[in-house]
Amino acid sequence: MVPISPVYANISSFVTKYNWKPQQNALKPKEIDFQKDLPWVRDNVLTTALSEINELTFAPEDIKYMESIGIKLPFKSGRECVDFIEKENIRLHFAKPYEKGVHAQYSFDRNAIMINKKYQNTKDFAVMLAIGEAILHEAGHAKDKDGQSSVQEELNFLGMNAVAHRAFIKKYGKVFSNSTAPIVADGVSIYEKLFFDPDPDKKRLIARMKEKYGDLPSGDRLHPPGKIARAVLQ
């Protein structure tokens, strides 16, 4: 074998780099054509949020980690969720929530995801990403077609939020750290920490779920309760 000279080694690493970029682009999902695919979405904040989740890939190791703690993600990528919204004609709009402090909700009767009106004209990119995460979560509820929820169902969707949140941090760095908006600071950022807590018993996650979702049944037909969901109701 001929040893590679330092000069050739440099050229070869340059060539590798050069080839790598177009391949990355080829893997990039195609952009959403809002005119054609989602003509009912016109708002700038919502189109940004949807475009961001459309490009979001979840780390396979994060999905595996979730499975290991009994969490099943309803979508395996952001694209899968956007395709579902398109196929099911799910409407998206800003509205006053039924209950104070709710960031987003899905109305089964209207087949619509509603985002809290107070974020309507946000200029904060972190909030737009958090709205994207809220859309992922609520689309999970839409997928069930039952208008009901359970602790395990919420765990599955919040776990997906935690995985999506990590993917956004990987892509944009410390984008969320300066945002004080409740949808970020008391929403998406919290669940990333709680699900990826090194505590194997996930005591803090269980306490939070008890406080927020303690009135729901532990599981349902589509979401049989795992260890964490059962602990929430103990």
List of residues contacting Zn ion (CB under 5 A):
154
Query: Shortest Cβ distance from residue 173 to Zn ion (Å)?
Result: 28
What sign results for the dihedral spanned by CA atoms 142, 147, 153, 154?
positive
Alpha carbon distance 137, 155 (integer Å): 10
Cβ closest to Zn ion, residue 52 vs residue 154: 154
Alpha helices (H) in the chain, listed in sequence order: 6-27, 44-54, 60-68, 78-87, 125-144, 151-172, 182-183, 189-195, 203-213, 227-232
Query: Shortest Cβ distance from residue 154 to Zn ion (Å)?
Result: 5
Cβ closest to Zn ion, residue 32 vs residue 104: 104
Q: Which amino acid is at 168?
A: F
Residues 59/166, Cβ–Cβ less than 8 Å: yes
Cβ closest to Zn ion, residue 32 vs residue 144: 144
Query: Shortest Cβ distance from residue 134 to Zn ion (Å)?
Result: 9
Cβ closest to Zn ion, residue 137 vs residue 202: 137
Residue nearest to Zn ion (CB): 154
Query: Shortest Cβ distance from residue 158 to Zn ion (Å)?
Result: 7
